[in-house]
Structure 1
Amino acid sequence: MKIEGSYIVLRHVRFQAFHGVMPQEGIVGGDFDVDLRVGYPLERAMESDEVNDTLNYAALYALVKQEMKQPSKLLEHVAGRIVAAIDNTFPLVTSIDLTLTKLNPPMGADCEGAGVEVHWKR
């Protein structure tokens, strides 16, 4: 079997956080959605069935949660911190696809959300 790519994913993880440039966003906060796809060599875990041979998605979630707790004006800044933290914590990561969406943003539009996408590759 030849593996072309393998990934750990977190889909539609919801956070209540205090990111935004409007003063009320720093006071009442808002709801955010995170989608994360992290390239990681899974071949060893596919053979061993051992959590130590993979990127533990609970540890990945804990890292994202920690970064989401830190208020920022810009989602770009939050996304950059998340990508840097993943890169610094998990050296075997080969790529990161991150979508960070502010749900119901205060901009007067009827939309599900607005946000940023980042694709990082080693």
Structure 2
Amino acid sequence: MGKIKVRNIKIYAHHGCLKEEAIIGSEYLVNISVNAPLKKASLSDSLIDTVDYVHLNRIVKEEMKIASKLLEHVAKRILHRIFSELREVSKAKVSVSKINPPIGGDVENVTVILKEKRTA
């Protein structure tokens, strides 16, 4: 078993409960970590034997384009896509961070982290 991480995927998106957030949008950082069997790929040097991180990045970009009120909702959609499209993934962790959130203070970011294991 091994782990693949895609860190600090920078995306401009339109998530939030405030009407202004949906209109103006803001910057986000998304991190993904997936567990999968990587031994075969380490020996074969073949992309077909591993989890393609280009595919992971595409999932994030596509799901972040769909506006949501809550970061939890976006993270859950990303997890769902990972498990439905990448059969070799056994565990996944997704964090979605909103940079400079409009919460009435000097806050660098807020982050939601969701983890899941494949059940079947």
Please report the TM-score for the alignment, with normalisation by the length of structure 2: 0.95
Indicate the residue corresponding to 2:23 in structure 1.
27
Q: Does 1:49 pair with 2:45?
A: yes
Q: Which runs of 5+ in 2 are unaligned?
A: none
Give the count of matched residue pairs: 118
Residue of 66, 72, 80 corresponding to 1:70: 66
Q: Does 1:104 pair with 2:100?
A: yes
Q: Which runs of at least 4 in structure 1 moved beyond 3 Å after TM superposition?
A: none
Deviation at 1:115, TM superposition (A): 2.1
Q: Which runs of 5+ in 1 are unaligned?
A: none
Name the CA distance, whole Å, in 2 between partners of 1:51 and 1:92. Answer: 13
Q: C-alpha root-mean-square deviation of aligned residues, in Å? A: 0.8
Q: Percent identity?
A: 39
